[in-house]
Chains A and B, each alone.
Chain A
Amino acid sequence: MEISLKNKNVFPPEVMDLLEAFYSVGFFDESLLIGSWVMPIYQEAFGIQYVLRTMDIDFAVKFALSDRDRKTDLERVIIDLGYIPVVMQSGIRKFTRENFTVEFVAHRKGGKDDQIVSIRKWNITAAPLPFVDLLLGFSFVADMGSFKVRTPLPEAFFVHKLITAQRRLEEGKKDKDLDQCSIIARQLDPDRLDVVVGSLKLSRKAQKALRASCEVIDFPPQKLKLK
């Protein structure tokens, strides 16, 4: 699915530059913009209005096992934009410029507890998080005019946040996740939601998390095929 945005200037210039640079090297062919910075796109594409943004921008990277893929030095692309690489305590490499941080996440398979995933295709490291494949599996492309950005469908973003909110250790992040969900819930497409929910194979723990989040935002769990 591709949506052409009427208002192309939904991001501040520094974010536009970053997204355009990522697009130019083919990053959005498979990988996505995620986190609170998808909201300006959702506002234009789906009428979802959520104004709060964080000072970090997150990208979900598709993890490729094959070494045959063409390799791109995304770290160089980011550094050329004036960011500096910083190795965090966990070993993850993030990038910062004027308090603004660029970071990557990748899908974490169940049972693994690695702290870092090295993505050789892009010469970056990513933080492994659960259920990222849900975002990668249901995405759309936003046409920004001079470039395009791939982001998760709101329905996938919504379900992902509902599940992960309950796993948050920080109450602030949990509240923000559920706050975003309560706004997105008003604009969900029932058919797309059915497709996303139909793809899920959830453990009892994850189902419990979904139910708990539904209760907080007053969303009927039946719409997620939960009893």
Chain B
Amino acid sequence: MKVVEKDKVISGMLHDELKRCQEMLNSLERSICEIPKGSLNERKKRYKSKVYSYFYLKYRDGEKVISKHIPNKEVQKIMKNLELRKKYEKEIRSYKKKISYLNKLTKTGKKSGHGNIAKE
């Protein structure tokens, strides 16, 4: 990585980029906490001659698996949010990958995680 070491403009840009990615990752991780997680499932119940269906959200909370009933009027909203969560998760993965790459390039990487490199 001789170019990175010698050229202070390129080195500065890479450090800035690393800092930007870390800030964005932190904000993405904060944002995703507010979006419901899990998968939406439909359960069908027979009662006498009729079949009733209802939706429930299944997600993990630590070691517990929770099934939460979702009223019909909230199903669309939950589906939309789960879709949005997928986008956030994809973006988070992409930033983590980039941070790992930039850490290698700038040679400031530490094994402890992603959040403390640019503050050095």
Instruction: Confirm or deny: B51 has a beta carbon within 8 angstroms of a beta carbon on chain A.
Output: no
Q: Mark A51-62, 1 if CB is under 8 A from B, else 0.
A: 010111000000
- Least CB distance, B12 to chain A, in whole angstroms: 2
Closest chain A residue to B19 by CB distance? A170
Q: Which of A97, A99, A172, A174 contacts B98 (CB 8 A)?
A: A99
Interface of A is mostly: mixed
Residues of chain A lying within 8 A (CB to CB) of residue B26:
89
Interface of B is mostly: helix
B11 engages A86 (CB within 8 Å):
no
Residues of chain B lying within 8 A (CB to CB) of residue A86:
24, 27-28, 31
Instruction: Confirm or deny: A211 has a beta carbon within 8 angstroms of a beta carbon on chain B.
Output: no
Q: Which 9 residue pairs of A and B lie closest in terms of their CB atoms, listed nearest first?
A: A172-B12, A179-B9, A175-B12, A86-B27, A172-B16, A88-B27, A172-B15, A175-B9, A84-B87
- Least CB distance, A6 to chain B, in whole angstroms: 29
A170 engages B16 (CB within 8 Å):
yes
User: How many residues in A have their beta carbons less than 8 Å from beta carbons of B?
Assistant: 23
The docked-state distance in angstroms from the alpha carbon of A174 to that of B24 is 21
Q: Give residues of chain B (12-32) contacting chain A, Cβ–Cβ below 8 Å.
A: 12-13, 15-17, 19-21, 23-24, 26-28, 30-31
Q: Give residues of chain A (57-89) contacting chain B, Cβ–Cβ below 8 Å.
A: 84, 86-89
Instruction: Confirm or deny: B66 has a beta carbon within 8 angstroms of a beta carbon on chain A.
Output: no
Instruction: Confirm or deny: A176 has a beta carbon within 8 angstroms of a beta carbon on chain B.
Output: yes
B12 engages A89 (CB within 8 Å):
no
Interchain Cβ contacts under 8 Å between A and B, 5 examples = A52-B10, A172-B16, A173-B12, A173-B16, A179-B9
Number of residue pairs spanning A and B whose beta carbons lie under 8 angstroms apart: 64
B91 engages A97 (CB within 8 Å):
yes
Q: Mark B88-109, 1 if CB is under 8 A from A, else 0.
A: 1001001100100000000000
Contact of A55 with B28 at beta-carbon distance under 8 Å, contacts A96-B91, A99-B95, A179-B9 already known? no
Instruction: Confirm or deny: B6 has a beta carbon within 8 angstroms of a beta carbon on chain A.
Output: no
- Least CB distance, A223 to chain B, in whole angstroms: 23
Contact of A54 with B16 at beta-carbon distance under 8 Å, contacts A84-B84, A96-B91, A176-B9 already known? yes
Residues of chain B lying within 8 A (CB to CB) of residue A176:
9, 12-13, 16
Residues of chain B lying within 8 A (CB to CB) of residue A179:
9
Instruction: Confirm or deny: B8 has a beta carbon within 8 angstroms of a beta carbon on chain A.
Output: yes
Closest chain A residue to B8 by CB distance? A175
Residues of chain B lying within 8 A (CB to CB) of residue A94:
24, 27
Residues of chain A lying within 8 A (CB to CB) of residue B88:
84
- Least CB distance, A80 to chain B, in whole angstroms: 13
- Least CB distance, B20 to chain A, in whole angstroms: 6
